[in-house]
Structure formats: structure tokens, C-alpha cells
Structure 1
Amino acid sequence: MPPIWRDPNTSPIAQRPGEIAQCVSACLERGNLDGITGLFHPDCTIFFPPDAPPRIGHAGVRAVFAGFLGQTPTTQSTLVSEVIVGDIALLQADWQVIAPDGSVLAKGRSTEIATRLAHGGLGYLIDCPNGPPPCS
């Protein structure tokens, strides 16, 4: 089942955990930062870029994705693993963000925890685009 769009200017709703990346990709290609933000839990943590401190909440989502928006990139994501228990999912995917000239802006093997959001769809609670960070 494809993601449900409430409104083209907001975020789509992922019905299954594996759809979240497709929804983020669609919003990224449209330059829809609000839509991307709506696909993350308000208390989310994003570990990107890998050498930076984790980004927290919707402000963190905006900080991570804002730099990609002006480049109108496309994304490719291949789900490698999906474990679902109730409203929580553990995901792994190989992904890359590609500029219009074909250059790869970023890539990795992600590990994410997804959960049910207030609107009823699924979104990321923990996003580790380059895998979990090492123990400190």
C-alpha cells in the first residue's frame, strides 16, 4: 500500500515502517521540510552527520535535512531488515542521496527505530543513518 498524503504540502503518512524512507524521499524531492519533520517523532534523536553530536527533536530534523533541500536531490533506499513488534519497528536500509548532476551527497547503511505517531502513521524515533554510534 502506498503512503497516504493528507495534503501535498504536509507529510505523507507511512502505513508500514518500510514506507517511512519513501515518504522522506518524496518530501525531500519536493523541498518539503515540514513534511520530512512530520515523519519523525517529536522526541526523536538523529545521529547525523556521524562526527557531530546527536540532533534532538523536530529542530534536529530540520537541522539535518535543511542542507539537502536547496540541491533538489533524489534518494535511493533499499530495506535490508525489518523487525516489527506491535507499534515499534527496527529497520536497516542501504541509502544514498543523489544530486541532480549524479554525484552522491551522502550514503550509508542506516539503523532506525520507528514508532506510531500522533496522526496514526509511523515515523522515526531513533535515526542512525550510518549505523549506531560506537559506545563512548
Structure 2
Amino acid sequence: MSTITKRKIAERPHQIVERVAEFIKDGDMDGVVSMFHPDCRVAMDPDGAPMEGHAGVREIFKDFVANRVNLKGAVSGEMVNGDTAILQGEWTIEDRDGNTLGGGVSTEVVRQLENGGWTYFIDCPISVPKPVRT
């Protein structure tokens, strides 16, 4: 008989950062990835190209999860329209000794999945990239 563990979902958009923080602290990369839409884009470096999809999320979070850092996030704004929402917030990351490793002011577009859980669709944890001029 197999045991199936139900992973926590974010039932409201503002809960996503709480779930990501829990999964990082538990060393659960699959949990972190579950908080991102499969077609997500993450602009961790505002001067570089965004990372895409779950492979990009794994790359961004590999050291955070391996070191089980402490992510502290606070959502300061949330607007929901159907299955899409925009969030604004602030975050910091601390090592296990409480030393601040980084932080920023974030803007995120989130989407609701068929299971009712909310996920990051566009995540700009430091700042929104500049427009591409053609």
C-alpha cells in the first residue's frame, strides 16, 4: 500500500510566499517548484534574461533549498481578478545564523491552477525589468 502525501497549496495569492518559505526551510525543492506555474518567468536579475519554467525555478532556488535559508516575505498589496492576481511585497533572506543575505521589493503576477492553488506566473523579486526596445 502506498502513501500519498498531499502537498500544501496556496489557497489565496498572498499565501504563496509563506508556502515557498516553508518548503525552503524543509529543503523541499519540489514544494518550491509547486508554487510556480509551469510556464512562469522569473526576473531575478533585472539586467539579465528572465529564467523560465520549472527548470529556471530549480536553478534559482537550488542554493536556497540546499542551505535551508530563512525567507521572510510580507505581501503589501494584492488585487485579484478571476484566476489572475497581482501582488506587491518585500522579502529578505537570512542564513541559519540570522545574517541577511539579500532582499528586495517584489512584484508578482499569480495564476490559479485547476486544483485551486495559486502559483507565481511572473515573478520580479527585485524589480521589474526595463522594456525591451525594438
Partner residue in 2 for 1:117:
113
Which one has a bigger Cα radius of gyration?
2
- Superposed CA RMSD in Å reads 1.5
The aligned amino acid for 1:116 is: Q
| Pair 1:22 & 2:18 matched | yes
Q: How many residue pairs end up in the alignment?
A: 129
Identity %: 37
TM norm structure 2: 0.89
Structure 1: which 5+ residue stretches go unaligned?
Answer: 1-5
- Kindly state the Cα deviation for residue 14 of structure 1 after the two structures are TM-superposed: 0.5
Partner residue in 2 for 1:3:
none
Of 63, 66, 72, 1:70 maps to 66
Q: Deviations over 1:7-51 (max 9, x none)?
A: 3xx742000000000000000101110001011110000001334
Report the 3-state secondary structure (helix = DSSP H, G, I; strand = E; otherwise coil) of the residue aligned with 1:13. coil
Tell me, yes or no, if the aligned pair for 1:11 and 1:34 is still in contact at 8 Å. Answer: no
| Pair 1:107 & 2:82 matched | no
> Could you list the runs of 4 or more consecutive aligned residues of structure 1 that deviate by over 6 angstroms after TM superposition?
none
Give distance in 2, aligned partners of 1:52 and 1:39: 23
TM norm structure 1: 0.88
Tell me, yes or no, if the aligned pair for 2:74 and 2:90 is still in contact at 8 Å. Answer: yes
Tell me, yes or no, if the aligned pair for 1:79 and 1:93 is still in contact at 8 Å. Answer: yes
Bigger Cα displacement from structure 2, 125-134 vs 49-58:
49-58
Tell me, yes or no, if the aligned pair for 1:11 and 1:27 is still in contact at 8 Å. Answer: no
Tell me, yes or no, if the aligned pair for 1:48 and 1:128 is still in contact at 8 Å. Answer: yes
Tell me, yes or no, if the aligned pair for 1:50 and 1:130 is still in contact at 8 Å. Answer: yes
Structure 2: which 5+ residue stretches go unaligned?
Answer: none
Partner residue in 2 for 1:128:
124
